[in-house]
Copies of this chain bind each other. A is one copy, B any other.
Amino acid sequence: MLRGHQSWEFEHQPMILSTAAIGGPMEAKGPLADDFDLLHADIRMEQKSWEQAERTLLDEACQKAIEKAGITKDAVSFLIAGDLMNQIISSSFAARTLAMPYLGIFGACSTSMEGLALASLLVNTGSARYVLAATVSHNAAAEKHYRYPTEYGAQKPPTAQWTVTAGAAAIVAPNDGKGEHPVVTRATIGRVVDMGLTDPFNMGAAMAPAALDTLISHFRDFDLPYDYYDLVLTGDLGRVGSRILRDLMIEHHVDIPQDRYGDAGVLIYGDLPEVLAGGSGCGCSASVAYGHVQRRLRDGELRRVLVVATGALLSPISYQQKETIPCIAHAVAMEWPSAACQAGGSAP
Say yes or no: is A150 at the interface (Cβ < 8 Å to chain B). Answer: no
Say yes or no: is A338 at the interface (Cβ < 8 Å to chain B). Answer: no
| Bound: A4/B80 CA distance, A | 18
Say yes or no: is A125 at the interface (Cβ < 8 Å to chain B). Answer: yes
Say yes or no: is A191 at the interface (Cβ < 8 Å to chain B). Answer: yes
| Bound: A318/B89 CA distance, A | 7
The main secondary structure of chain A at its interface with chain B is mixed
Say yes or no: is A65 at the interface (Cβ < 8 Å to chain B). Answer: no
Stretch in A17-25, A101-109, A253-261 with 4+ CB within 8 Å of B: A101-109
Residues of chain B contacted by A100 (CB below 8 angstroms): 191
Residues of chain B contacted by A104 (CB below 8 angstroms): 82, 105-107, 114, 313
Q: Which residues of A in the span 88-135 have a Cβ within 8 Å of any Cβ on B?
A: 88-89, 92-93, 95-96, 99-108, 114, 118, 121-122, 125-129
Residues of chain B contacted by A211 (CB below 8 angstroms): none
Q: Known contacts A93-B326, A318-B89; is A102 also within 8 Å of B189 by CB?
A: yes
A86–B317 touching, CB < 8 Å: yes
Residues of chain B contacted by A313 (CB below 8 angstroms): 87, 89, 92, 95, 104
Residues of chain B contacted by A145 (CB below 8 angstroms): 317
Residues of chain B contacted by A5 (CB below 8 angstroms): 77, 101
What is the total number of residues of chain A having a CB less than 8 Å from a CB of chain B?
56
Q: How far is the CB of A125 from chain B (nearest CB, A)?
A: 4
Which of B107, B114, B125, B326 touches A125 (beta carbons < 8 Å)? Answer: B125
| Bound: A88/B95 CA distance, A | 19
Copies of the polypeptide in the assembly: 2
Which B-chain residue is minimally distant from A146 (CB atoms)?
Answer: B87
Q: Known contacts A121-B127, A129-B2; is A96 also within 8 Å of B317 by CB?
A: no
Residues of chain B contacted by A194 (CB below 8 angstroms): 96
B86–A87 touching, CB < 8 Å: yes
Which of B1, B51, B88, B314 touches A321 (beta carbons < 8 Å)? Answer: B51
Say yes or no: is A63 at the interface (Cβ < 8 Å to chain B). Answer: no
Q: Provide the A41-65 mask, 1 if CB < 8 A to any CB of B, else 0.
A: 0000000010110000000000000
B105–A191 touching, CB < 8 Å: no
Which B-chain residue is minimally distant from A190 (CB atoms)?
Answer: B101
Residues of chain B contacted by A95 (CB below 8 angstroms): 191-192, 313, 326, 328
A85–B317 touching, CB < 8 Å: yes
Q: How far is the CB of A106 from chain B (nearest CB, A)?
A: 4
Say yes or no: is A316 at the interface (Cβ < 8 Å to chain B). Answer: yes
Say yes or no: is A227 at the interface (Cβ < 8 Å to chain B). Answer: no
Ordered nearest first, which 4 A-B pairs have the shortest CB separation? A92-B313, A6-B101, A87-B315, A125-B125
Known: A52-B321, A85-B317. 7 other contacts (CB 8 A): A6-B77, A84-B87, A93-B323, A95-B191, A95-B192, A102-B192, A104-B106
